[in-house]
A and B are shown apart, each in its own frame.
Chain A
């Protein structure tokens, strides 16, 4: 293990409120996290499910409500903090990660969630996502990806398909979409995962994993906007096709999918390929084995590029590696300075440098 990794491992072992024991002691339920505000998303919106799963997993972490903060940007997703009975801050477009960075640096004791959307996180706020991930700021960023601008009523977003016709692109979008998970990995995110709004158990499990991760977590939730982009992910998320068209990632397990568990992913040179177990002599041993803890991000990057219809869509945790957090590193420097110089004394700072006395 490298030095930073050892450090992070130590940190994870530290006794913090982030533990199942604490969850037992505090004994909160979903209801404790429901605020008194009326939820105002469109009926049928995928956001309802994301909110419900978020409220359901909150008691898992053993944090008292007052130590949890939800910070959002602008867009339909931005309303989520109002519905959580925790501390919440609905900020401005794209900037939620910046407030979360400052809050976490000032208050490492808090559990911080950032709620954002594809436009908020990847268009206006792209720079902040990039830099908060590389710093490994210890917050969990949940990005609702509906491939459209919903709150402004239906313009193309940075994840909209090339050629997509929207109100702002009547002749089709001329912009190539970006892939959120590839961006997160390129930005050195230490935890990268994907789930789906309607796959409630999987979404809960993914949020749970993210919550227990120490460091930046980037979670893309494929979310349906039934008003402006209905069925954006339907082709592979519907109940009757999802097993054939999605790849459920599990650490240490071969990449197998399909209703009959007979399809798999094999590496052909530098590219993945879909193979059928039992055909052309293919066995389970030939398949790629998922390793979310790999030190190099190559496998995760490859998975992030796999998408329907060429490939089954991977969901689950692509990457989860230990790395020292931004707030811990800042705190360490302060501790080291105090150990070296003693606790700062104001009079000393005022009189520092060259002085002279006038009688």
Chain B
């Protein structure tokens, strides 16, 4: 760390490698927007970033109440980072409720910036504070900065033709301005954004711009802060970058798959948190021939997607756990008729409605086994927001090559979290080849490719290939309805073998760290960042630890058993109660152990580090 003097404000600037900020306020306070603006600015500046929005399911819970608190955490760094940070260095709390629900995550010595204007008797009581935490000494462990943000902001907006209430709505930009100053950020990207967003309403644009600049100026002129901080750009691989959330990357991946396969994308969907943004984004791709359909329910959404696939399009549907439960029967139909289809499950905390905006990865067993009978299908899961793009393409590659429904497991953390993404050129994307039969002389509805066991995808409009498919068991080859006992057994085995055979077509499981050793930490999905960071810390301490991350959950990569067998112990951290653990133990007879936390939040690096350390200590000879 170096300390220099800046010319402008004559304050010392300290270089930091990484900073984590959490903005917290009422859900009407614009915290998501504030966080997003800071994210854009940090990304464009060249920092590596990782974000974690955390918002309530209620759109507008009563103002000032505990359930109404909305938060946005961003970690930005001059080095490669994998998570949005275990705990914030700075907490910005816009009201008592935000303070109460978030201060527990702030480590002692952390900076706490509060809008002191919001600490009224009424707000304190809504947040169930008996006294005033700003005066009762309960916050003495933190560097507390009390700023009358509302008052200062209203003063800055003096003379504008707005009500007090309207003016108060811009106070989040005042807070953002303070943070921009503190971390030496340019206001330009946000000022540009304000200009574009509110161009038609000059008073609103002026107010937001003034609020931002006033906050920045407050940081510059006040005596409150004795220093400000600089986080230099990260050394990312060369290329053009954009900031991307998991849902955005997922939608883009599907668009890319459709373009690569030269087949139109049809997306059937019913609104559900946290998957709805995929519908919003895909509905903007009409110029690419993407057809989106907001169905009457989850079943209609998948039914329409199957119908579109039957017609030769890429039929796609997405939901979250409760909606996937509704789609199950239709997904079984897709298994039986063997049509290409991709079903996205953006997992959230359950069971039942659970906590709709909170993350969990507990639908793995549902998508593998939650259908009647043996009903095998491939399952893939992205590891990071940017990885969603590649895995979305992979889902379609498998669906089309093996003529099968595929489940794509994302989750709320991946869906709403963001990171920088190096934009690939179209040439580096995989080839997706699609073949539809046209020859009546050789076509048999349930004849299979000798290598992939895929049946042929014959689409209506092809003369001479008229045939019937459906949910009833089909005779091998001819596809006629069949109740023959031996045929049913054969067909069950064929369906199973087709999916199992995909293992020959997917990359081997890669290990980060030594090829063999004391401990392998095995993960899947959004736990990637926390596991990777924890393993890197342990490796830096000289521990014999490696990390492997599964993107294919059915079938597993061919070398999975060998990899697992190369370590004395295997730890499987999951945001569920041990679902991959169950599969690994059952399939490979390996005494792996789990580490499960289902708090609706992603893992902290320290949690995994501790769990891994505990196992290493236990197994020490």
Q: Is A37 part of the contact surface with B, judged by Cβ < 8 Å?
A: yes
Sampled A-B contacts (24; CB under 8 Å): A66-B460, A67-B460, A67-B461, A72-B470, A89-B337, A90-B469, A92-B333, A98-B300, A99-B310, A102-B308, A105-B307, A106-B315, A127-B300, A131-B296, A336-B286, A337-B287, A344-B289, A346-B288, A349-B288, A350-B252, A351-B240, A351-B242, A357-B239, A358-B240
Which B95-134 residues sit within 8 Å CB-CB of chain A? none
In the assembled complex, the Cα of A337 lies from the Cα of B287 at a distance in Å of 5
Q: Is A178 part of the contact surface with B, judged by Cβ < 8 Å?
A: no
Q: Is B485 part of the contact surface with A, judged by Cβ < 8 Å?
A: no
Q: Is B376 part of the contact surface with A, judged by Cβ < 8 Å?
A: no
**Chain B residues within 8 Å of A338, by CB:** 286-287
Interface size, chain A (Cβ < 8 Å):
61
Q: Which of B40, B305, B307, B467 contacts A100 (CB 8 A)?
A: B307
Q: Is A342 part of the contact surface with B, judged by Cβ < 8 Å?
A: yes
In the assembled complex, the Cα of A341 lies from the Cα of B306 at a distance in Å of 29
**Chain A residues within 8 Å of B286, by CB:** 333-334, 336-338
Task: Tell me if A66 and B240 are in contact (CB < 8 A).
Answer: no
Say how far B265's CB is from chain A's closest CB, in angstroms.
10
With A64-B463, A72-B470, A358-B237 known, 11 other A-B pairs at CB within 8 A are: A37-B480, A37-B481, A88-B466, A88-B468, A103-B310, A105-B266, A343-B287, A344-B285, A351-B240, A358-B46, A358-B239
Which stretch (A78-86, A267-275, A293-301) binds chain B?
Answer: A78-86
In the assembled complex, the Cα of A152 lies from the Cα of B314 at a distance in Å of 35
Which A293-351 residues sit within 8 Å CB-CB of chain B? 330, 333-334, 336-338, 340-344, 346-347, 349-351
Q: Is A355 part of the contact surface with B, judged by Cβ < 8 Å?
A: yes
**Chain B residues within 8 Å of A350, by CB:** 252, 256, 423-424, 426
Task: Tell me if A90 and B252 are in contact (CB < 8 A).
Answer: no
**Chain B residues within 8 Å of A358, by CB:** 46, 233, 236-241, 422
Q: Number of residue pairs across A and B with beta carbons under 8 Å?
A: 209
Q: Which of A64, A92, A95, A341 contacts B300 (CB 8 A)?
A: A95
Q: Is B583 part of the contact surface with A, judged by Cβ < 8 Å?
A: no
Q: Is B88 part of the contact surface with A, judged by Cβ < 8 Å?
A: no
Say how far A69's CB is from chain B's closest CB, in angstroms.
5
Say how far A58's CB is from chain B's closest CB, in angstroms.
12
Task: Tell me if A98 and B289 are in contact (CB < 8 A).
Answer: no
Q: Is B166 part of the contact surface with A, judged by Cβ < 8 Å?
A: no
In the assembled complex, the Cα of A357 lies from the Cα of B420 at a distance in Å of 11
**Chain B residues within 8 Å of A53, by CB:** none
Task: Tell me if A334 and B291 are in contact (CB < 8 A).
Answer: yes
Q: Is A353 part of the contact surface with B, judged by Cβ < 8 Å?
A: yes
In the assembled complex, the Cα of A82 lies from the Cα of B460 at a distance in Å of 15
Task: Tell me if B466 and A356 are in contact (CB < 8 A).
Answer: no
Which B231-265 residues sit within 8 Å CB-CB of chain A? 233, 236-243, 252, 255-256, 259, 264
Which B255-305 residues sit within 8 Å CB-CB of chain A? 255-256, 259, 264, 266, 268, 285-289, 291, 293, 295-297, 299-305
Which A95-114 residues sit within 8 Å CB-CB of chain B? 95, 97-107, 109-110
Q: Is A242 part of the contact surface with B, judged by Cβ < 8 Å?
A: no
Q: A85-B466, A88-B467, A355-B423 are in contact. Are A105 and B296 (CB under 8 A)?
A: no
In the assembled complex, the Cα of A104 lies from the Cα of B307 at a distance in Å of 8
* Residue from A85, A88, A102, A131 whose CB has the most chain B CB atoms within 10 Å: A102
**Chain A residues within 8 Å of B268, by CB:** 102
Q: Is B380 part of the contact surface with A, judged by Cβ < 8 Å?
A: no
**Chain A residues within 8 Å of B238, by CB:** 358-359
Say how far B377's CB is from chain A's closest CB, in angstroms.
16
Q: Is B562 part of the contact surface with A, judged by Cβ < 8 Å?
A: no
Task: Tell me if A349 and B46 are in contact (CB < 8 A).
Answer: no
Q: Is A65 part of the contact surface with B, judged by Cβ < 8 Å?
A: yes
Q: Is B464 part of the contact surface with A, judged by Cβ < 8 Å?
A: yes
**Chain A residues within 8 Å of B189, by CB:** 354
Q: Is A123 part of the contact surface with B, judged by Cβ < 8 Å?
A: no
Q: Which residues of A come within 8 Å of B, CB atoms?
A: 35, 37, 64-67, 69, 71-72, 81-82, 85-92, 95, 97-107, 109-110, 127-128, 130-131, 330, 333-334, 336-338, 340-344, 346-347, 349-359
* Residue from A91, A340, A359 whose CB has the most chain B CB atoms within 10 Å: A91
Q: Which residues of B come within 8 Å of A, CB atoms?
A: 40, 43-44, 46, 189, 233, 236-243, 252, 255-256, 259, 264, 266, 268, 285-289, 291, 293, 295-297, 299-313, 315, 329-330, 333, 337, 422-426, 460-472, 480-481
Specify the chain B residue showing the minimal Cβ separation from A330. B291
Q: A90-B472, A99-B307, A340-B287 are in contact. Are A351 and B423 (CB under 8 A)?
A: yes
Task: Tell me if A102 and B255 are in contact (CB < 8 A).
Answer: no
In the assembled complex, the Cα of A346 lies from the Cα of B330 at a distance in Å of 31
Q: Which of B233, B297, B425, B470 contacts A81 (CB 8 A)?
A: B470
Say how far B588's CB is from chain A's closest CB, in angstroms.
35
Task: Tell me if A105 and B293 are in contact (CB < 8 A).
Answer: yes
Task: Tell me if A106 and B264 are in contact (CB < 8 A).
Answer: yes
In the assembled complex, the Cα of A341 lies from the Cα of B290 at a distance in Å of 14
Task: Tell me if B426 and A127 are in contact (CB < 8 A).
Answer: no
Task: Tell me if B255 and A88 are in contact (CB < 8 A).
Answer: no
Task: Tell me if A92 and B329 are in contact (CB < 8 A).
Answer: yes
In the assembled complex, the Cα of A356 lies from the Cα of B481 at a distance in Å of 58
Task: Tell me if B468 and A66 are in contact (CB < 8 A).
Answer: no
Specify the chain A residue showing the minimal Cβ separation from B41. A354
Say how far B450's CB is from chain A's closest CB, in angstroms.
26
Q: A103-B307, A106-B312, A337-B286 are in contact. Are A354 and B297 (CB under 8 A)?
A: no
* Residue from B242, B422, B460, B471 whose CB has the most chain A CB atoms within 10 Å: B460
Say how far A90's CB is from chain B's closest CB, in angstroms.
3
Task: Tell me if B466 and A346 are in contact (CB < 8 A).
Answer: no
Say how far B475's CB is from chain A's closest CB, in angstroms.
12
Specify the chain A residue showing the minimal Cβ separation from B266. A106
Task: Tell me if B300 and A90 are in contact (CB < 8 A).
Answer: no
Task: Tell me if B423 and A103 are in contact (CB < 8 A).
Answer: no
What 7 pairs across the A-B complex have the smallest Cβ distances?
A98-B303, A90-B470, A102-B304, A102-B307, A344-B288, A99-B307, A337-B286
**Chain B residues within 8 Å of A71, by CB:** 307
**Chain A residues within 8 Å of B423, by CB:** 350-351, 355
In the assembled complex, the Cα of A248 lies from the Cα of B549 at a distance in Å of 70
Q: A69-B460, A356-B240 are in contact. Are A99 and B303 (CB under 8 A)?
A: yes
Specify the chain B residue showing the minimal Cβ separation from A100. B307
Specify the chain B residue showing the minimal Cβ separation from A107. B311
